[in-house]
Amino acid sequence: MRRLLHAILLGLLGAGIVHIVVLLLVPEFTERDAWSRLAMASDLYKMTRLDAEAGGAPVVKSVDPLFYAAACRFDLAEGMVRIKAPGSVPFWSVSVYDRNGHNFYSFNDHTATGNKLDTVVLTPAQMIDVRRELPEDLQGAIFVEAPIEEGIFVIRAFVPDDSWKPTVEQFLDQSSCELQDY
């Protein structure tokens, strides 16, 4: 009897340890995180619609039904990435995520010059290079310094009602996510 109690106690202690280990390993080994889902849907530097409206199941969960969203994956080890979207919509906001889906930078249309989305994501080292001589066409861009390599860039745009759908759709379809030569 005492041995049974001993075994159960030992088991509970082990359960605590397993709980912590599993919890910490879930982010490392999951194949269902945002990066993996996007990787299944499209390549690096390719804007992909996240909402179900574009056909098929939504790539990434918990997108507001009154929003359209698009995302692209990038790798700063290959160079800095520039994200642009022409046109104007009632509201847009963007977020930069690292490989694990942690949000580390976000801003919305009030931050941008003339409400135009024009952003460059780059590492601090690349930033130093760019600062030395700022190219003409990057003058109006918002620079996001990111101490990461792989990451995800997400654009969200508000669709107040059905009449805005074509405009917002066009805004996201024309958005680009490109390696910027420097």
Partner 1 sequence: MLKTAFFTLLSLAIAIGGGGGSVWYALQAQSGVGAISIGQWTAFPEIGTQDADPYSKARVAREGVLALGKAEGLSFIAERDAAGDELQRQCDYKIEGSFPTARFWTLYAADQSLGVVDTGKPRLAALQSYQVLRQPDNSVIIAVGNRPAPGNWLLTEGFGRMYFVLTFYDTPIASSTGLSDVTLPRIVKAGCNA
**Which residues form the interface with partner 1 (CB under 8 A)?**
3-4, 6-8, 10-19, 21-24, 26-27, 30, 32-34, 36-37, 50, 58, 60-62, 64-67, 71, 91, 93-95, 97, 100-108, 110-111, 152, 154, 156, 158, 160-161
The letter for the amino acid at 57 is A
- Beta carbon nearer to partner 1, 23 or 131: 23
Q: How far is the CB of 111 from partner 1 (least distance, A)?
A: 7
Taking each continuous run of H as one helix and of E as one strand, the counts in the chain are: 4, 9
Query: Three-state DSSP class for 113?
Result: helix
The strand order across the sheet containing 150-158 reads 48-49, 67-75, 150-158, 92-98, 103-108
- Beta carbon nearer to partner 1, 8 or 134: 8
Q: How far is the CB of 84 from partner 1 (least distance, A)?
A: 19
- Beta carbon nearer to partner 1, 152 or 177: 152
Rounded Cα–Cα distance for residues 35 and 38 (Å):
5
Q: How far is the CB of 11 from partner 1 (least distance, A)?
A: 3
Q: How far is the CB of 96 from partner 1 (least distance, A)?
A: 8
- Beta carbon nearer to partner 1, 139 or 163: 163
Query: Measuring CA to CA, how many Å separate 54 from each of 70, 85, 116?
Result: 10, 18, 23
- Which tokens hold the place of 16? 């605590």
